[in-house]
Every structure is written in C-alpha cells, then in structure tokens.
Amino acid sequence: MHKEPNYLSECQKWEDFLWASPLHFLRIKRGLKNENGTYLRGEYPNTTTYIFAADVFRSHDSFQSYLNEKIGSQKLTAITILPRKKNGTGTLLVEGFSDKDYVTYKILKMLTDASNSDTQVTTKKTVSMTPEIKSEPIPQPVIPSPMHHSVSYPVQNHNGLAAAAMQGMGGPAATAQAAGLGMSQFVELQKNADRYQEVKDKYNKLKEEHHALILRNRTLETDLSSAEKAKELAVLAEQLKKSNFFDSQAAEKMTDALPALFEMITNKAGGHASTGLNAPSGLSAAKSDFVGYLADQKVTDEMMMPLTSVMYLLAHVPNYPTALETLNQQYGNQDN
C-alpha cells in the first residue's frame, strides 16, 4: 500500500463500503493473502473479527484514522482486507469487491517517526519550561518572564504547526516564525485549515444523511411490496366472492346440455313417444317411475330447469350427491 494517492483512496473505498449497508463488514488479517495470519479483533462491545461501521466510527472519525491506529499500535507491516456481508447466519462476498492485501511498512514508519517527533518535542519543552529555583533565606521561585524566555524546538516539517501551537506565546507572527512560514503563508494555511474542517463536517453530515436514506429506501421498498401483495389478495378475494359454480366450465357444459335433456323429460312426462335418434329405449324401472312422476300436475314447467340442473350435477360433479343428500335430510322432514 502506498502512502499517496492509493492509501487515501483505498481507505475511502473501504469507508464507503462500510457505510453502504449495515450488513457490510471487514476482516483485517495480519500479513498478505498468501501468508498465514490471524485477524484483528474489534473492541468492546464487539470483540469478534467482524468489523462493522459502528465499530470503526465509535472512536474514530474516518476509516483511515482507525487503520492508522491499528497499524501503529500493532506494528503491522502487511495486511489483507476481506470485504463481506452478513447473510442470515452466514456470510457472502459482495459483488464488485474482492480480498486485497497491502504492504504497510512505509505507513508504519511514517506513524512511528511522527510519534517519536511528538515525544521529542514534548520532552524538550518540559525541560526548557522548568523554572529555576534560587536559594534565598526565604525561598521564592523565580519564574522567567515569557518576554525573555527562549525555547528551542527541533525543525519538524510535518509537525511544525504543532510545535508552533505548543509554543503559542508571541501571537500569530511568532507562531508563523516558529513554524518556518511567512505571515502571508501562515494566514493562508489557517484559512485552508478552517475550510478543511468545514468541508469535513459537511461530508460527515452527508454520509449520515446518505446512510439514513438507504435505510429509509429499504423500508419503503418493504412497505410497497407488502401493499402490492395486500392489493392482489384483496382483488382475488373479491373475485372469489363474486364467482360461483355457474361461472365455471362445468356450468357452461351443463347449460349446453340442458335443452336436450329438458326436451327428453317433458316429452316422456306428457306421454308423447319420441322418434328418431332422440327416442330413449330400454329404460330401467327406476327411470320409468321418475318419468311417470314428472306427469304429475304438481310438477310445473318452472320446476323443470332446476330439476334438470340437479340431474346434470349428479352426473358430472363428484361431491354433489353428498351435498344433495345433506340438503334433502334438512328439508325432507318439513313435507306435510
């Protein structure tokens, strides 16, 4: 992994990956891909090797600062980052991402040098600022006046402003001089620092809003899917409510057959012999008795249509005889 621009852009890529979904996480292995190595663990409350966005941004403002802290504190010279996402009780690879290893010894050296420089500056300042105590009959500490006190700092290009801020005793001009800058350069640098902080605050706010929008979009998609399913079920229920047997194909076939059946029965009931191909022959005793019953004056022409419907259903619908028997038992006892 190189310091710039790859290191910064790679850190930003992994940061965006974590923010993209609450199911996304990273595993960071000590060593390169083809090497055996253990994985970094998160901090309380998540001490697993699955590092989510919450684990990073709970104590750091960026993934880069999080990774810098891990590289520096654990002296990592090479790492491998494995992007994954939760899938129930398992994990999955994320499309568009793959495991990637980085050589980080340059980053480690930079961080170590910066830490040593900060320690050196702090030590020198502590020694230089120690007041001299003179022996007097009544001991009184003599504190040098800031106007005449001289503090010497080593030149640190990457930490000049930090040293100047620690000195901070002579106003902006002295601070600029301590940092090795001209006054105009110092003012411009201060403006850039203010602008950087403003842009950084806006960026963090936009990231939070973006994450909230992602979660809101998923909620709306779930609600929309549920609403569409409810609508489909309502339409189906309404169709079932309105439909009955006479909407089916069996009813259509029965309707087509009713005229011929009706003609056959009424002809026999009236005592008229049918001729030609439609004339029935060889009727059983039960069928003959039924035809004779139709000749009764109580059986009107208006009864013939539902009666022929019953006959058709008995012949073509398997469960109909049972239902008819139940109906007969319910109303049979009411006959006077």
- Range of 71-85, 230-244, 286-300, 302-316 with top mean pLDDT: 71-85
Amino acid occupying residue 199: V
Domain identity same for 12 and 108: yes
The answer, yes or no, to whether residue 302 has pLDDT greater than 50, is: yes
Q: Among 268, 246, 267, which residue's Cα sits nearest to residue 255?
A: 246
Q: Does one domain contain both 295 and 234?
A: no
Do 262 and 231 belong together in one domain?
no
pLDDT band at 90 (very low <50, low <70, confident <90, very high): very high
Q: Tell me whether residue 192 is in a domain.
A: yes
Q: Of 113, 143, 164, which residue sits at a domain end?
A: 113
- For residue 173, name the pLDDT band (cuts at 50, 70, 90): low
150 in any annotated domain: no
32-70 pLDDT, tens digit each: 999 999 999 988 888 899 999 999 998 899 999 999 999
Contact 52, 86 (CB under 8 A): no
Cis upstream peptide for 139 (omega within 30°):
no
Beta strand pairing call for 100-103 and 78-87 = antiparallel
Does residue 158 form part of some domain? Answer: no
Of the three residues 85, 113, 141, the one that is the final residue of a domain is: 113
pLDDT at 270 over 80: no
Q: Would you say residue 52 lies in a domain?
A: yes
Tell me whether residue 169 is in a domain: no
Portion of the chain with pLDDT greater than 70, in percent: 64
Number of structural domains (the chain) is 3
Residues 225 and 256 both lie in one domain: no
Domain end position, chosen among 113, 139, 160: 113
Q: What's the whole-number mean pLDDT along residues 167-176?
A: 58
**Distance (Å) of CA 3 to CA 39, 108, 196:** 23, 10, 20
Contact 288, 280 (CB under 8 A): no
| Cis peptide preceding 131, ω within 30 of 0 | no
pLDDT in the model for residue 91? 93
Q: Is 152 inside a domain boundary? A: no
b/e string for 250-273 if b means 16 or more Cβ within 10 A? eeeebeeebeebbebbbbbbeeee
The pLDDT tens digits of the residues spanning 130-165 come to 444 444 454 455 554 544 444 444 444 444 554 454
Q: Do 192 and 263 fall within a single domain? A: no
8 and 99 co-located in one domain = yes
Answer yes or no: is 301 within a domain.
yes
- In a domain, residue 303? The reply is yes
| Residue 44 structural domain | 3-113
